[in-house]
Structure 1
């Protein structure tokens, strides 16, 4: 059966609701390999963003919306991410909270409470003067920086809605979030505020108050006598990852002794890692943070740019017989339209 692709006959046809965009609904076109689709669009000068003729996608803001992931690209060009259910992105915003909760596995292991690299800091909006005191987790296992939605609200900041691909232990899922810019952080005893990279807002951070070290916990460890940890009335509202290396790098390290914790001094203050106090022997939540983040729209754009450019190229590539047959059929369909 011949393939029939309805394309705009006039270059100025830009309305995404026009009949020219039946191409986005064509089942035969959707079944084709991704590279074949992009090759056809490139050959015909069709915008990757709205499937119209007369412009290229990077210059055009009125993109089609994907029915699968809700991102700004045609549904027929959707790229399924391995390990992610096709309807994952359609879950309500509450998935953010559940995603963070799943970073902690309740496996009933151990009878000690362990401190993580949590430090009290001051945060403020870059264009604001109001500073808040919160706890921050310095996490070398995260490729991104996060803040709580509550902190975003208190700083009167509004983020841009997007989706991120959140990879954790044995999990990979798309979650809705806000990208927040303009957050600054400083040590508790300093007014030298430094900018955070773009920060993703989540309902809560994947740690508990039991992971926050207290000064009295260090009393039993004489070798930690030089380590001072201020206490504030707050919870963990920030997770600073490796995309802010200057904030999490250790300046000085006090090594562990006799199975006790170790401490590291950073730009933001002292942090302590390791077992602190005996628990009750009941089930504990074990925090395993290995967070890798990628913005879905950037993954898609990168894939498009890697496969094909919409701008004419001097490069000549040999096409397979199947590729040639597909393009020949598509060309005939366009001419007969």
Structure 2
């Protein structure tokens, strides 16, 4: 019914606007520069009629607004209609006053002086320019990160807040649409009207316009710079932009960043690879202290050079990868390079004829030429004295091109013609398949660095294990407490390999964010003291991995043993996978593109005895749990000891509980004082929900009477007292919303009052969040069943 009435009103509004548009066109058709031809009577009649249209339009708009407020309680999807309503009003008002001013000028005979006329024309021309269709300026989203506050607020203030053509209610809607996460919670209790716009803006400023916290966030970001791997120009460019952005933000906060050059240079240097650091040291001239600008200019130039090399020389074949990875030693002028095998202008390991030989013939040719069998360059030293890295396959002192498998070593010597015929197959076996008896393989598990949001909306970096063999997600107790997440109670049995079991008694929701893009997701995690051992268990040598330079790893330090803070299971595992996979080598792991970056996983060649393997598998056996409870229902379980918080609640109850003269118990609530001081505003939310409840009760007078009777009984019994105006302004106060629950089948009480102490305040906390949770003191089901068997008669009753 209400929506039908809304359609009729919108049609009426459109008719009024059409009449005003015709009026506007008629006024604009009159030439004001020829006042003698203006029909004054006609213009006066149009002015009077125009005012009538204005009054009619306002009446229709007021009724539409009232309907939208009513529909808001029945239909949550009315925000777009409200925005449309406000925008329509603003446009109509602008056109109305523009036309009304033209009518007044026509009636006064356009007697303004020439300067005023010229000024008016200039202003009108300026308005025409501003109404040109320019590209839309997007307002950034603000989720509550302190370092994003000033970029967001400055943009919002310049585009929305300072725009005189927008009404306060329109600005309020734009503000709400620009907020998300904890930032949106700050003002969600405010009713959407023009009067609350300034209050909403002030609440956001009070929460996030904290220069001290913002400065700390930027400084923390500088201390958490990512480690840069060799040749990764994308990560290097991001590092430069990251540092300069944080320094500019700190400078805007009047911090003395000009004096931090030496410190920032050291922080950047610790994150660079060895070759880049060596180039930087060579780039510094004399004994002068380098400046931060010199270092950023050097790194920017290196980024451009690496990018150009990557585009010019892509790795598109196996031999090009081999040549790239076996090239060792110092830089030598190309004029002095010659191949000792074919006398060409290249190194021997770049010689096509040399590469076509089987490994044993390459080894013999290098020996005959007197070359070092490790670097294949020098004739002045032997392999034992060579400083170049060892074989990528077996880590022994010879070049990878000279490595021979067991099959190659036991193969009898053949004639030259036979060797040439079998070159291709032997070469493939030697380079792609290794089967030494003393070799093992390490399995690389996929890890990723991600950001997780704490209770205040700030981000923290952690290390996650991606495990498609787990049906549920996990988080360590240490990280959950550091994030101050709200934890619920659970009793989950987690089953692994060989029926090994562990238990989780806490559960929480965690919002994660990718470091590579805008991907976010909220996952439900079970809390464990420790998820797994360090991954990997030993340091992995990644110098042998041929990872392309343009790959951005999700965990650049995947080869370094470190703790696992989260485990992401199959719930979102397949959502993370993207199109893109790189096969490095038969004995090297795979690279898989994900929303979190490129992950590394699979078998990797390892020279030493491999430690125990790690296998992560967790299964939620619902059927198994039901059967277990069925068979154990009459088993007497051991009493679970109380936690420290539960012990505190028991002591608090013992010390504070008393009985009055009527025998009633008076119990004091166990309060978290530090949380109680953080409670925000709650009156607006409680009042809005009360008014909504009142409108619903008006439709059912009998239920309303019963509901009011419940509160009358509360007042008589002393459960509830009126708060005077003086106490209403106390700092520590919390307004509890309530609603009615109707149960027609109930014999005694058909209407019951339910108080919602879990309703969040403007700070994101509720009254229940400020209270400690004690132990469950109710008897278990087994005790109740046994008591039923003890006595002949059983009596049940309700209590008030």
TM-score, with structure 1 as normaliser: 0.49
Please identify the structure whose Cα radius of gyration is greater.
2
Q: Counting strand residues as a fraction of each chain, which structure ranks higher?
A: 1
TM-score, with structure 2 as normaliser: 0.22
Q: Counting helix residues as a fraction of each chain, which structure ranks higher?
A: 2
Comparing both chains, which one has the higher relative contact order based on Cα–Cα distances under 8 Å and sequence gaps of 6 or more?
Answer: 1
